[in-house]
């Protein structure tokens, strides 16, 4: 089962980000557990995309009860910029990241917005 935040799930509706056959394979064979993120309307997204609706029985949404905007993207950004992640991650995870020199000097891909030609 794919564990993902609501922000990642919304990327499944963006053109050229996910191959449709991959989504059918993942959602159809394994399913997805989605953790809601502040600012993401996961339920509307799931209803508005045919592929997601088709596999709705394999998709579970965990409602966000406490405001939490921590994401893996944010953690990697903090580490790259030398900022503390002390209260974002367990100490054992921070030690592992430090011991393996993860996310230092690595840049995230920048999402490009394609503009249609007039």
Q: How far apart are CA 22 and CA 20, in angstroms?
A: 5
DSSP E strand stretches across the chain: 2-5, 32-35, 59-62
> How do residues 35-49 score in pLDDT, each as one tens digit?
887 777 788 888 888
Extract long-range pairs of 85-89: CB within 8 Å, 24+ residues apart.
Answer: none
Give the predicted TM-score (pTM) of the model: 0.59
Position 109 scores a pLDDT of 54
Q: How far apart are CA 41 and CA 7, in angstroms?
A: 9
Position 7 scores a pLDDT of 78
Asked if residues 76 and 108 have their Cβ atoms less than 8 Å apart, the reply is: yes
């Amino acid at each position: 089962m794919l564990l993902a935040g609501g922000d990642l799930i919304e990327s499944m509706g963006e053109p050229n980000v996910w191959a449709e056959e991959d989504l059918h394979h993942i959602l159809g064979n394994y399913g997805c557990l989605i953790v809601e993120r502040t600012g993401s309307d996961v339920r509307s997204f799931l209803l508005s995309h045919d592929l997601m609706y088709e596999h709705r029985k394999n998709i579970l949404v965990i409602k966000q009860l406490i405001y939490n905007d921590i994401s893996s993207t944010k953690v990697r950004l903090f580490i790259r910029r030398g900022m503390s992640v002390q209260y974002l991650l367990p100490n054992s995870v921070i030690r592992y990241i430090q011991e393996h020199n993860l996310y230092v000097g690595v840049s995230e891909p920048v999402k490009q917005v394609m503009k249609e030609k007039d």
